């Protein structure tokens, strides 16, 4: 069903539906923050956001984690045939923060094929963290190749092209405060 959403941010482009609205996201992010706070009773916690897609989720999430933490980022580039990820990931920005001996929580906006995470987790494991876990806002549950558990998940994602709350289509729509399915 096609709905017309009156939102000037969309500049006339229609979205099929709002998959997760602002209130639903905020409530789930608060729950995730509480889960994460409880999961790390001690030790140094470094929250690593994978850019660009995680930038809004990360900023909301860390404000819901009520224990000391540090924040840093990873920027990765994948290369493939344009449609399907090749699984080759190169770091464009490597966190400056020391990872060894810390609890590392890698924050991702969406797990699709899982190839990005496979490569990044392997890179991060080599830095000898005390623990290494994934927090993904959305999980499509199709990542048959994913070799790592996703300990914290916001929502199971519909198999649609999702934009907003950090997720883009050709760099547009990242600033939507909700997550929508594109036409």
Q: Is 7 a catalytic residue?
A: no
From the CB of 41, what's the least distance to ligand PRP, in Å?
29
Sheet-wide strand order for 85-93: 85-93, 70-80, 45-51, 103-111, 131-139, 152-156
Catalytic residue among 94, 112, 126, 172: 112
Q: How many other C-beta atoms are found inside a 10 Å radius of the C-beta of residue 175?
A: 11
From the CB of 42, what's the least distance to ligand PRP, in Å?
30
Q: Give the residue among 181, 180, 56, 147 at the shortest CA–CA distance from 108.
A: 56
From the CB of 166, what's the least distance to ligand PRP, in Å?
8
Alpha-carbon distance of 29 to 63, in angstroms, equals 10
Alpha-carbon distance of 50 to 151, in angstroms, equals 16
Q: Are strands 85-93 and 70-80 parallel, antiparallel or unpaired?
A: antiparallel
Nearer to ligand PRP, 60 or 112 (CB): 112
Binding site for ligand PRP (CB under 6 A): 50, 52-53, 78, 85, 108-116, 143, 168
**Can you tell me whether residue 114 is helix, strand or coil?**
coil
From the CB of 174, what's the least distance to ligand PRP, in Å?
8
Would you please indicate which residues are annotated as catalytic (active-site) residues? 112
């Amino acid at each position: 069903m096609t709905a017309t959403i009156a939102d000037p941010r969309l500049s006339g482009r229609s979205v099929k539906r709002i998959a997760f609205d602002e209130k639903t996201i905020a409530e789930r992010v608060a729950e995730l923050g509480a889960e994460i706070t409880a999961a790390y009773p001690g030790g140094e916690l470094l929250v690593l956001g994978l850019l660009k897609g995680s930038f809004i989720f990360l900023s909301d999430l860390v404000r819901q984690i009520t224990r000391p933490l540090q924040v840093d980022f990873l920027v990765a580039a994948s290369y493939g045939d344009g449609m399907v990820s090749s699984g080759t990931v190169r770091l464009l920005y490597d966190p400056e923060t020391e990872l060894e001996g810390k609890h590392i929580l890698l924050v991702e906006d969406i797990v699709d094929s899982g190839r990005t995470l496979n490569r990044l987790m392997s890179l991060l494991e080599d830095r000898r963290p005390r623990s290494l876990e994934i927090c993904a806002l959305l999980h499509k549950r199709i990542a048959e190749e994913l070799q790592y558990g996703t300990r914290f998940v916001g929502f199971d994602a519909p198999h649609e092209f999702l934009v907003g709350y950090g997720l883009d289509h050709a760099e547009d729509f990242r600033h939507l405060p909700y997550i929508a399915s594109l036409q």
